[in-house]
Amino acid sequence: MTRWNPKTTNTMTLDATEKYAEIASDAGLTPSQLAIGFVRSREFVKKNGSVILGATTMEQLKENLAPFENDIMLDEEVLARIDEVHLTSRDPCCSL
């Protein structure tokens, strides 16, 4: 997809991506696992929702299922760091 190509995106999008990847690494997670953990932390998902996973390889599927198998929940510090990045780049895919 063109919107995620580093050649066509702006530095704000790339910076946000790098920061999210750093948060994931610091938490001992992959970026996908961080995203899944974030979605699972939303109250409306906890009460009435679900998380839809996608994978094209068995390795990706295992990675994406790990937050459920290990019941990974993000702590307040990780959530605060995610919020901080979000405030600087509210919708990176539209920041072209």
Instruction: Residue 49: give the domain boundaries.
Output: 11-87
The more confident residue out of 10 and 16 is: 16
Indicate whether 50 belongs to any domain: yes
Tens of pLDDT, residues 31-50? 999 999 999 999 898 888 88
For the chain, the domain total comes to 1
Indicate whether 4 belongs to any domain: no
Indicate whether 26 belongs to any domain: yes
pTM over 0.75: yes
Indicate whether 20 belongs to any domain: yes
Per DSSP, the residues of 73-87 read ---HHHHHHHHHHHH
